Structure 1
């Protein structure tokens, strides 16, 4: 019981960290361009994770293979798409809305599993997709007939995250989890660096006057360690000591934490229709994880 409580608290801290990073990253990309920031974040995370593997999981170093790198690279492409679109989208929308729209990835998983893996759609998953879709309408449109550019980019980000989770379910059983995560993170770093090189003025961004600003240092400290490396290690270790039901409910709190952080740090207040949309998306997330024969079964985790 004690290990279960500790595991649940650790996973809840991951959900909290992921939630508050929306505001933290939004503040950081006011100074650093999105691809440049992601390149720094994921290069630093890849180095830190490799050090941890070398020190504590040495046996996994012998398990690196060409097939694992290819699988990790494919997963990394989807992960890059998710983080790139999310970070760019934060330039044009609020962190609270971005948190709930990103959470749509959970509701989309059963739909994409049906389309790509021919898995049967069950009624809770269908109800979850419908609820989340209606919620997305109220959150992003309301009385307006135009879709905010940032909301649309974050919606595409949710699609990428959902596909990354589906492909993780295909590849993950064949390789060590932490080593596969390292390849994914390194892939995101390399692709982000390519995006910065071709589309951003990275030379001007990577100057001491910009890099050593408090919001950049703070953002990198949070996103590199707690939000990336610690989060993955916590998932890998803690899910052995808790149940899929509890994991599903714990991670459903991520967009709630994002909305609370946005309210307290930026005074972002959602209207009644937007709040109703958030609630419907939250319900859609929970419904998508229900199974008639076994409630609240969690397939996998987004990140």
Structure 2
């Protein structure tokens, strides 16, 4: 009698890692609909401030449990805070522009435009190094432009929110490149908590300058708790675990599904619909994000992620 061989621990861990990253992608996709809905009653600065306060509170127990604070050498705290401040400036620019975008355009359209950061990162790298763009990257850029054209054609003329979503994609690309340069010098959890703390402080300054309400409406607390605990703290943990067993190239393909997830949540939570041209445009954008991770037929190993937060 034949027997079926048991799955090896390596294969089981790989499958678990893929599953965790799919959960992360679904949570990130849901935030577009949640932020758009909550943004109707919250100033962007108030939303970002409380999201990151909640996220930081959730990260502190993880940091204490892992003993991560001891991993940072005594002579490095100044560099830790300076590097995290630089990253946090990119982060709040991304969060602010995304939140403003969602008040002026549909959630699914904003998600597809924001996903262009995956194409912008290698493009930015090549231009900064004064290198010629490889053919696959040119093809990815053309696919992305074609996808945006189809999305715009279906949704009517470009609106201000689309521009803000594009700014979000650009600022997140800056965040990814800065993170790539700085992350190896710091332990993950202390570095994450420092970023959360800086974004909270910057959001508080924005809130005061804009004279926005400090306390959100009572009906907004559910959304804020979800964004802070699930979309910031939980995804940090799940992504850290998942990418132990999944390559960055595989992760990039999974993360490219985020705008698809966003469209599904936008349909069920907001009633937004995408028709044929929109799906074709979205498919081109997703195809561009995947293609941009390949160079000369071999997968590149990028820092990947389409939702601009401390999930890194």
Give the structure-2-normalised TM-score.
0.88
Alignment match, 2:235:
231
Point out where structure 2 has 5 or more consecutive residues left out of the alignment.
1-10
Identify the match of residue 111 of structure 1 among 123, 133, 137. 123
Identify the match of residue 19 of structure 2 among 9, 32, 41. 9
Secondary structure at the aligned position of 2:294 is classed as coil
Q: Which has the higher helix share?
A: 1
Q: Deviations over 1:180-229 (max 9, x none)?
A: 222222222111111111114315xx16xx1x21xx22212221112111
> 1: CA distance between counterparts of 2:245 and 2:149?
38
Secondary structure at the aligned position of 1:9 is classed as helix
Identify the match of residue 110 of structure 2 among 85, 98, 101. 98
Contact 1:178 1:233 (8 Å CA) reproduced:
no
Asked whether 1:219 is paired with 2:223, we answer yes
Q: Deviations over 1:212-264 (max 9, x none)?
A: 21xx2221222111211121222222211122232112111111000011112
> 1: CA distance between counterparts of 2:303 and 2:221?
35
Point out where structure 1 has 5 or more consecutive residues left out of the alignment.
none
Alignment match, 1:180:
191
Alignment match, 1:198:
209
Describe the shift of the 1:217–1:119 C-alpha distance in structure 2 as closer, same or farther (beyond 3 A). Answer: farther
Shift of 1:177: 2.0
> 1: CA distance between counterparts of 2:305 and 2:178?
12
Alignment match, 1:156:
167
Worse-matched range after superposition: 275-284 or 48-57:
48-57
Contact 2:117 2:172 (8 Å CA) reproduced:
yes
CA RMSD for the aligned pairs?
A: 1.9
Contact 2:136 2:291 (8 Å CA) reproduced:
yes
**Larger-gyration structure (1/2):** 2
Describe the shift of the 1:58–1:71 C-alpha distance in structure 2 as closer, same or farther (beyond 3 A). Answer: closer
Describe the shift of the 1:143–1:71 C-alpha distance in structure 2 as closer, same or farther (beyond 3 A). Answer: closer
Shift of 1:296: 5.7
Contact 1:29 1:91 (8 Å CA) reproduced:
yes
Q: Give the count of matched residue pairs.
A: 295
Q: Deviations over 1:125-147 (max 9, x none)?
A: 22111111221122135585x42
Give the structure-1-normalised TM-score.
0.91
Worse-matched range after superposition: 156-165 or 115-124:
115-124
Contact 1:76 1:187 (8 Å CA) reproduced:
yes
> 2: CA distance between counterparts of 1:140 and 1:77?
30
Shift of 1:293: 4.7
> 1: CA distance between counterparts of 2:148 and 2:204?
32
Secondary structure at the aligned position of 1:133 is classed as helix
